[in-house]
Homo-oligomer: A and B are copies of this chain.
């Protein structure tokens, strides 16, 4: 392969915010960079950020985190595949040591398995520090695979990455078994604020969320997705922070909750598969580095804490953009008008 010259494609970027956060994971004011060709995203997200400043802040909760890679091996029979699995499971400690030896940060959390006929798929799930961890688990997977094939010579290689991981594909496994950060962002919005800043009501939001995100999504044959446009905010934030943005595919599979609390709207965005890192490929980019630094995600912290902060901020951005668009859609006509104005 011949040497190729590398140059840059510039993606228009604006800082939006500040968003206000409360709670342990992220606290206080944070502005965020959004890189996107879709310029209406900036004022739309900014509108949500404005609400966060008046409503007392967005709370973010981290429920889980892991990165995964699945390997696949072929046995002579299902009985043999199951026996192979049992032998591997009994040596989980060995596997954990093996993985710990491949990286300073990779630590085995769990081995999951599926057996289909004579094929055994093992999903290796690891903690990966501040990195999103794709390469870390790939190295871990290779070590585990080599060891298995040496330890059990009757097994044949099928794949180093058997799609039970699963990376960047629309599926259910990542939401159910975990991949990336599992983060929830939530905010309580007083009725008067909702009326003044977003021209909507709790009743309208609850109804739209049910009819559009849940029922409409259901009719479309959606899989673990009930939202309006998580993907837009994720893409812009991922690009500005040097993430592997193809992970918006699993990232977009999340849900919105609207609860009418009488004098306020409870609004929450759940993102079970937010794949982000504050180190790793893409983060050396000077512009990206500056973005991360300004958001306080390059500080001296315990391993993993910068990435967790980044995930919390990202979930907050998603909440702001989702809130703004849904509110706009409760008012017929506003959506198109807004977009048309933006683009002039």
Contact = CB atoms under 8 A, between A and B. Distances in A.
Interface string A80-101: 0010000000000000000000
A282 B37 contact: yes
A74 to B, nearest CB: 8
Interface residues of A, number: 131
Interface of A: 1, 4-16, 23, 33, 35, 37-39, 42-43, 46-47, 59, 61, 63, 70, 72, 74, 77-79, 82, 114-119, 121, 135, 138-139, 142, 145-146, 149, 157-173, 175-177, 182, 184, 186, 207-208, 210-229, 231-232, 234-235, 239-240, 242-246, 248-249, 252-253, 255-257, 259, 266, 268-270, 272, 281-282, 285, 287-288, 291, 329, 332-333, 335-336, 339-340, 343
A332 to B, nearest CB: 5
Contacts of A169: 217, 220, 222, 225, 227, 231, 252-253
Contacts of A175: 219, 221
A270 B218 contact: no
Shortest beta-carbon contacts, A-B, top 7: A117-B257, A172-B221, A37-B282, A170-B170, A163-B216, A117-B268, A8-B10
A159 B14 CA distance: 29
Given A1-B43, A160-B332, A245-B245, 6 more contacts: A4-B15, A61-B82, A116-B218, A142-B332, A170-B249, A231-B246
A213 B229 CA distance: 22
Contacts of A74: 211
Nearest to A221: B172
Contact of A218 (B159, B184, B212, B226): B226
